[in-house]
Amino acid sequence: MTVQAFDLSGKVALVTGANTGIGQGIAVALAKAGANIALAARRSPDETKALVEAEGGRAHVVMADLSSTQPCERIVDETVDALGRIDILVNNAGIIRRADALDFSEEDWDAVMDVNLKVLFFLSQAVARHMTGWASQDGTRGKIVNIASMLTFQGGIRVPSYTASKSGVGGLTKLLANEWAPKGINVNAIAPGYIATNNTAALQADEYRNRQILERIPEGRWGDPADIGGAAVFLASKAADYVQGHILAVDGGWLAR
């Protein structure tokens, strides 16, 4: 496989939840590979924008609250107007709520399912409708990369809606791959393991939990957002044209233990 197979020069990637953490790591990695990036986020992703531009890519910010499907069409329209088209969609935006299953509220259930699964589907639908206008016509393919979780494979505890939503992301990734492969679109997912971000700061700071986690990871360290970025570049590139409906665990060996 040549280096050119991973080259994203001239491609346009739309990344949701791009202001920090995994979303930021993915956006910067795609920019390093040559892509221009639309950053969709509820809070202004100024730092990510600067990092993308430092890599030589164009960065366009789309302010959007992805707690509902309302902005999906607008996100696509704004991205196409600013950057020309959408070659790559990374569905990274997600939330989590914690409580015992006996006490879990309908409000928390709906909030997580809406962001993590419902909006992911309808934004993918809106982007795929755009992609089918050009996919395969010039020998290129559209790429959709969903962010799943270890809880796509495992049950976890005290996160019933998150587990359900991420299990749904895995199933939906396979369904969309089945339907959209003939239309020139690849749909795959990344399942991150324990990644060192602001969202996991409390776990890292908890000596007991941190030790438990590291003892389970054969690699012996927390992942970095850049580790997820590399997987995203692969799935977004021509190198992955024959990869469909796959959930790629990037977990330091967590699932293998």
Q: What is the number of residues in the chain?
A: 257
DSSP annotation of 8: -
d(CA 21, CA 90): 14
Is 194 part of the annotated catalytic residue set? no
Amino acid at 186: N
d(CA 148, CA 116): 9
Find out whether 148 and 170 touch, Cβ atoms under 8 Å. yes
Q: Which of 162, 194, 208, 242 is catalytic?
A: 162
Tokens of 169: 């992301």
d(CA 21, CA 82): 25
Q: At how many degrees (to 10) do helices 119-131 and 160-180 cross?
A: 20
d(CA 24, CA 195): 13
Q: What burial class does residue 118 get, using C-beta atoms within 10 Å of its C-beta: 0-12 exposed, 13-18 middle, 19+ buried?
A: middle
Q: What is the 3-state secondary structure (H, E, C) of 170-190?
A: HHHHHHHHHHHHHHCEEEEEE
**Distances in Å between the alpha carbon of 99 and those of 108, 118, 166, 203?**
9, 21, 17, 16
| Catalytic residue numbers, as ranges | 162
